A and B are shown apart, each in its own frame.
Chain A
Amino acid sequence: NAGVTQTPKFQVLKTGQSMTLQCAQDMNHEYMSWYRQDPGMGLRLIHYSVGAGITDQGEVPNGYNVSRSTTEDFPLRLLSAAPSQTSVYFCASSRVGTPSYLVAGGNTEAFFGQGTRLTVV
Chain B
Amino acid sequence: AQSVTQPDIHITVSEGASLELRCNYSYGATPYLFWYVQSPGQGLQLLLKYFSGDTLVQGIKGFEAEFKRSQSSFNLRKPSVHWSDAAEYFCAVAVPNTGNQFYFGTGTSLTVIP
Contact = CB atoms under 8 A, between A and B. Distances in A.
Interface residues of B, number: 28
A40 B44 contact: no
B103 to A, nearest CB: 8
Nearest to B42: A114
A42 B104 contact: yes
Given A99-B96, A108-B32, A90 B107 contact: no
Given A31-B100, A103-B52, A42 B107 contact: yes
A113 B36 CA distance: 13
B43 A112 contact: yes
A43 interface: yes
Interface of A: 4, 30-31, 33, 35, 40-45, 48, 50, 90, 92, 94-99, 102-103, 108-115
B33 to A, nearest CB: 10
Interface string B83-114: 00000001010101101111111110000000
Contact of B99 (A4, A41, A96): A96
B56 interface: no
Interface of B: 6, 9, 32, 34, 36, 41-46, 49, 51-52, 90, 92, 94, 96-97, 99-107
A94 B105 CA distance: 18
A102 B51 contact: yes
A97 B51 CA distance: 11
A108 B94 contact: yes
A118 B99 CA distance: 28
Contacts of A92: 44, 102
Nearest to A91: B43
Contacts of A97: 32, 96, 100
